[in-house]
Amino acid sequence: MLRSETDGDPARRAKALKGLAAYQQAGRPEKQDPAPVIAQVGRARIRDYGGEGRPVLFVPSLINPPSVLDLSLHNSLLRWLATQGLRPMLVDWGEPLPEERDLSLAGHVEHLLLPLIDALPEPPVLAGYCVGGTMAVAAAARRALPGLVLIAAPWCFSGFPDVSRIGLTDLANAAEDGAQQLGLFPIEVLQTGFWKLDPARTVGKFERFAGLDPASEAAADFVQLEDWASDGPPLTLAAGFELIDALFGDDLSGKGEWHVAGAPVKLADIDCPVLNILSTTDRIVPATSAAPIGERLVLGLGHVGMIVGGRGRRALWEPLAEWLARLPSDR
């Protein structure tokens, strides 16, 4: 990929390769201790980030680890919210098992997310990020909640333009035999698709990294974020292929309805305030795929940058905290 994107410019290629080597050789700090577990259902757990006030349960995507919401001590949406009169919590999905091969996205909601919500002493606000937001919509249609936050959450999958150009179907087909044998869907299929969305950006970030002081905070942040982006457990077989199919359809079922707990999920069934955060420059989850629901906060930040980027605190963290503070206390 580096070669194809830098053909005709040996200097760029050399700089990008230098940055890639620097990233590979960079030291890694000790990982911070995970937040304590306060509820568990099967492999899924709720981690508590402390704080006083309204509970807010963040539902991350099944793709990549949930740690992007708690990337480092100085760049953690969850730890910051705990200082803002809120009690943030995080769903940690854990690592799926081969015997869960048939557990779909709806199954994750029905058998893991809803029981976790029910295990809490009071209903939380749900805040779903990426596909976690898709699942949070379904949960909010099944439970009475004080509020729902959607962050870069796909719902109208027909809003994904030109996904065929990144070759997801070919990647999934190539991986299918091995996935069927393992009973798990390799996360590398989706990660490779993400890289193909903008290969020039991938090259450019390693060029920029080559110019950073290896001892700087910026370099450490880059390494942490790249490690996160390259990490993550596999998906269940059903959930992985369901996501691939959804990107080429207009919903998660192919029939105009997504069934969870025996009934179709309808946006009209959500009876709580909704904050719908989306971005016009998100290349992974385009704004055109957002659910037509709630109060919209429209950003101009990337899918990951809105959470951990330098402008994320002012653009997303602070408006989110302000919206949560305005929620009625009797819900």
On whether residue 244 sits in a domain, the answer given is: no
Tell me the per-residue pLDDT of 286-312, one tens digit each, with 9 for 90 and over. 999 999 999 999 999 999 999 999 999
Rounded CA separation 282/87 (Å) = 28
Q: How would residue 229 be classed by pLDDT, with cut points 50, 70 and 90?
A: confident
User: Is 238 a member of any domain?
Assistant: no
Q: Which CATH number do you get for residue 115?
A: 3.40.50.1820
Q: What is the mean pLDDT of the chain?
A: 89
> Are the C-beta atoms of 315 and 45 separated by less than 8 Å?
no
49 located within any domain: yes
Question: Tell me, what's the pLDDT at 250?
Answer: 57
Higher-pLDDT residue of 146, 254: 146
Contact 93, 65 (CB under 8 A): no
Classify residue 100: in a domain, yes or no.
Answer: yes
Which residues fall within 8 angstroms of residue 21, CB to CB, at 6 or more apart? none
213 within some domain: no
Per-residue model confidence as pLDDT tens digits over 179-191: 999 999 998 888 8
Share of the chain above pLDDT 70, in %: 92
- 21 found inside a domain: no
Whether 7 is covered by a domain: the verdict is no
**Tens digits of residue pLDDT in 69-111:** 999 888 999 999 999 999 999 999 999 999 999 999 999 999 9
Q: Looking at the predicted structure, is the pLDDT value of residue 251 above 70?
A: no
| Residue 219 within any structural domain of the chain | no
Place 254 in a pLDDT band, splitting at 50, 70 and 90: low
- Torsion region of 35: left, alpha or beta (phi above 0 gives left; psi -120 to 50 gives alpha): beta
- Three-state SS at 126: strand
pLDDT at 85: 96
pTM, to two decimals: 0.92
- The total number of structural domains in the chain stands at 1
Nearest-CA neighbor of 242 among 233, 234, 251? 251
pLDDT at position 4 over 60: no
Domain range for 126 is 31-163+257-326
